[in-house]
Amino acid sequence: MIEKNGHYNLFQKKIVPYLDGSLSKEETSEFEAFVLTHPEFEIQIKNKQDEIQKLKDMIPAAMLSEESQESIETEMRASIYNLIKEEPRGLFDTIRIKWEDWLNR
Amino acid sequence: MKRKDFFQLIQPLTEKLYRFAYTLIPDDLQAEQLVIDGLNAYLLKEKKTISKKEIDLNSKKETQLIRRMIFKGILRYISEIGARRSLQLNEQMRLNIPKDFAPYYSLEPKVRLVMSLRYDSQFTVEEIEEIVQMPRFEVIEKLHNGRFLLLNDLNKVATL
């Protein structure tokens, strides 16, 4: 019984790291094998998952308005065209690059 | 890589980048600016690599792989700049904090960014280590602290 409790406690402490993905590969396999042989343990995992869902709900999930999305993408495009230089491959490519540079001035 | 291809690669990430920036600074304009500054810092560091990189946008797998790599790269700079800026703007932002998210914004910026990367953006601990440039033990410690403080707050509300 003591051994069972010790084992239980050990794996109980590993639920959150398991859900967080911070266990090593060996520990993850060991944990999953333990859960397979102890189906009642799944309830505890479910409880932790619910707890994590509550945490997720406490983190803001901001969304961009259509107008803000357009404005931020315009700025992103300008940054890319200003900071990345393309090597032209022939005359037409040179004209295309110059044209794009002019459009994004 | 052509500039238009690079833009095409990162365009679908705009919303996610903004959402992450907002978890650091709860102000629309400041969050937008943080995304732009993070992108600029990334481009300045990686512009040569990007120029030389060849990509086949018809290959879905390759596109997804490179897009994720770029996403993590930009997040790295947003994290770095955002954590500093969040401290500087702390007083100014106090009034902007949405009431429902006050407990989250009461966490220190580095704890906030690790929590957001793990629970909102769904990155693994290894990926977070890479993005925030922190040793693993520090990432795990911050996750633990954040979880403890938020759940504590939740329990306090429940007992009221």
Measure the CA–CA gap between A77 and A70, rounded to whole angstroms: 10
**Closest-CA residue of chain B to A68:** B32
**Domain range annotation of chain B:** 3-159
Give the nearest partner residue to A79 out of B22, B36, B50, using CB atoms. Answer: B36
Taking the Cβ of residue A5 and every Cβ of chain B, the question of whether any pair is shorter than 8 Å is answered with: no
Measure the CA–CA gap between A23 and A31, rounded to whole angstroms: 9
Please give the ipTM for the structure prediction.
0.88
- Residue B157 tokens read as 């509300």
Q: Is the dihedral of CA B126, B130, B132, B135 positive or negative?
A: positive
Contact state of B18 with A16 under an 8 Å Cβ cutoff: no
Query: Is pLDDT of B130 > 60?
Result: yes
pLDDT of residue B100: 86
Give the nearest partner residue to B147 out of A55, A64, A100, using CB atoms. Answer: A55
pLDDT of residue A43: 85
- Chain B residues in contact with A21 (beta carbon < 8 A): 124-126
- Class of the CATH-defined domain B3-159: mainly alpha
Measure the CA–CA gap between A19 and A37, rounded to whole angstroms: 18
Q: What number is the average pLDDT over the span A27-31?
A: 87
What pTM was estimated for this model as a whole?
A: 0.85
Identity (one letter) of the amino acid at B31? A
pLDDT in tens, A40-52: 778 888 888 888 8
- Chain B residues in contact with A87 (beta carbon < 8 A): 51
Q: How confident is the model at residue B76 (pLDDT cuts 50, 70, 90)?
A: very high
Give the nearest partner residue to B3 out of A17, A62, A84, using CB atoms. Answer: A84
Q: What number is the average pLDDT over the span B8-37?
A: 95
Please spell the DSSP secondary structure of B136-158, one letter per residue.
HHHHHHHHHHHHHHHHHHHHHHH
pLDDT of residue A2: 46
**Closest-CA residue of chain B to A80:** B3
- Residue B127 tokens read as 């990926």
Measure the CA–CA gap between B71 and B57, rounded to whole angstroms: 16
- E runs forming strands in B44-132: none
